[in-house]
Structure 1
Amino acid sequence: MNHKSIFKRTAALAMATGLSAMYCLPVSAEVKPLPVKPSLTILTEEEKPVSKDKVRNMKTFTKLNNDAVKIYPDAIKRSMHVIAKGNDAVTTDFYVFDLEGTLMKHFKMAPRDHQKIHGLKRGTYIYRVFSGDEETAAGKFEIR
């Protein structure tokens, strides 16, 4: 039996039974299923579009950034300067992460302390600032 006759029989059987041709092939024939692309994608919280309310909250959070720390670059030495702005006597924890989430630097800062972040490779970094257990600032900076 040649391939054309097998195909004709399979097509006729599929039409008669209403099944797809894949289910009607003889067992001896090798069938490789086609890759299936999902038609429905479920997004995680990070992938979901940001709502207007969250954007407003982010703007408020940016204001907190300005109240918690001041960050500015030292372009010549490829480093960043961080100044804690807190007025109360609470110690501030300043963390720097790379984009993979690896902790690169950690500083405990008293109010009006100045730290210099150096020794980082070129790239984008994320910082998080905590006063006690509360996150008071977050953002990112780039070393060029």
Structure 2
Amino acid sequence: MKPFFNIGKMRVITFILAGGLLITQSLLANNRPAEDKPLKKNKAKTAKSKNFGSLNNNSVKIYPDILKREMHVISKEDKEQLDFFVFDVQGTLVQHHKLNTKDHYKIAGLARGKYIYRAFSGDIETASGQFEIR
């Protein structure tokens, strides 16, 4: 099964992880990987994994904790403070956290289900994506 599929003109990438997390991310046309090339697998089974949350942003790195039902968010180098929001599928704000440069934030305590995250630097959205807690 290929990790990519198209919905209309939008290309979506999906990852199903051993810890019960499903992460999907829409890819912008100018940032999508080459057609039909699978992503390289990281041989090390540590937190030094590829950025599963989003392939089209420069502001955050988001990855799962395989042993627990948690997600980790790390703010990359940015000149401004970053606002990180987590919403449920109904659009209700579940968590909000302000991140400074290279801050680490653990998203924990969420019930099973799908969630949407969005990151803003000032008024500009710098990252967005989805993840699922199973």
State the match for 2:22 in structure 1: none
Looking at structure 2, the residues matched to 82 and 55 of structure 1 have their Cα atoms a distance apart, in angstroms, of 21
Looking at structure 1, the residues matched to 71 and 122 of structure 2 have their Cα atoms a distance apart, in angstroms, of 24
State the match for 1:121 in structure 2: 111
Q: 3-state SS of the aligned residue for 1:97?
A: strand
Report matched runs for 1:49-128 at 5 Å. Answer: 49-50=8-9, 55-56=28-29, 59=32, 63-65=55-57, 67-88=58-79, 90-128=80-118
State the match for 1:35 in structure 2: none
State the match for 1:40 in structure 2: none
Q: 3-state SS of the aligned residue for 1:82?
A: strand
Give the letter aligned to residue 56 of structure 1: A
Higher Cα radius of gyration: 1
- Contact 2:59 2:78 (C-alpha < 8 Å) held by counterparts: no
Task: Report the TM-score, using the length of structure 2 for normalisation.
Answer: 0.61
Q: Deviations over 1:47-96 (max 9, x none)?
A: x93379x9515749x5442x1111111132211110001232x1000000
Looking at structure 2, the residues matched to 85 and 104 of structure 1 have their Cα atoms a distance apart, in angstroms, of 23
State the match for 2:133 in structure 1: 143
Give the letter aligned to residue 50 of structure 1: K
The root-mean-square deviation of aligned C-alpha atoms, in Å, is 2.5
- CA distance 1:125–1:51, change in 2 (3 Å): closer
Q: 3-state SS of the aligned residue for 1:71?
A: strand
Looking at structure 2, the residues matched to 58 and 143 of structure 1 have their Cα atoms a distance apart, in angstroms, of 26
Q: CA deviation at 1:143?
A: 1.2
Looking at structure 2, the residues matched to 107 and 59 of structure 1 have their Cα atoms a distance apart, in angstroms, of 28
- CA distance 1:86–1:51, change in 2 (3 Å): same
Aligned length: 93
Q: 3-state SS of the aligned residue for 1:100?
A: coil
Q: 3-state SS of the aligned residue for 1:94?
A: strand
Q: Deviations over 1:87-118 (max 9, x none)?
A: 32x10000000111010000000010000111
